[in-house]
Amino acid sequence: MKRKMLVNPWMSPRAVGVRTSFLVRMIGLLVLGNASVPCFAAYVRASSADVEVNDIYANEWGAPFMTFKSVINSACHGGNGLYLYNLEATPNVQLRNNKMAIVLMAKATNRKVRLDYFYDSTIVNSWSSCYIHGITLVP
């Protein structure tokens, strides 16, 4: 018994072949064409002036968010709010604890800090616009 192939009656075999080869070429172009296009992260590295810690906010997911008494960058939340660390990075608990210890010491002793931070100018005034990369106590 001979099996019948299901074929779209409105499409000739040549049209099916053309359509398939077009799809194969488009997939190849997407895969190979994009291999030569460099990808850039949206975050830009910057440093702050000496600033004083205003608030430290932590939620149940353990993502500390900080505000400072002066403007850091207009891209950051309210101009002065940054996450203590990059939420997209694989966590190193010890390094995160070290940064938190510096922040708590600065707040407890009313000392200023200097920040090394990243900001994303494409996301303006959002909680996720900025995060602190490094922090130091100012003498």
Q: Which residue has the higher pLDDT, 18 or 68?
A: 68
Confirm if 130 and 77 have CB atoms less than 8 A apart: yes
SS (H, E, C) 30-67: HHHHHHCCCCCCCEEEEECCCEEEEEEECCCCCCCEEE
Tell me the pTM: 0.65
Residue type, 123: I
pLDDT of residue 123 exceeding 90: no
How does the average pLDDT of the chain come out, rounded?
78
pLDDT at 125: 74
Residue with tokens 């990059």: 86
pLDDT at 118: 92
pLDDT band at 2 (very low <50, low <70, confident <90, very high): low
Tokens of 42: 């949206």
Q: What is the mean pLDDT of residues 100-127?
A: 91
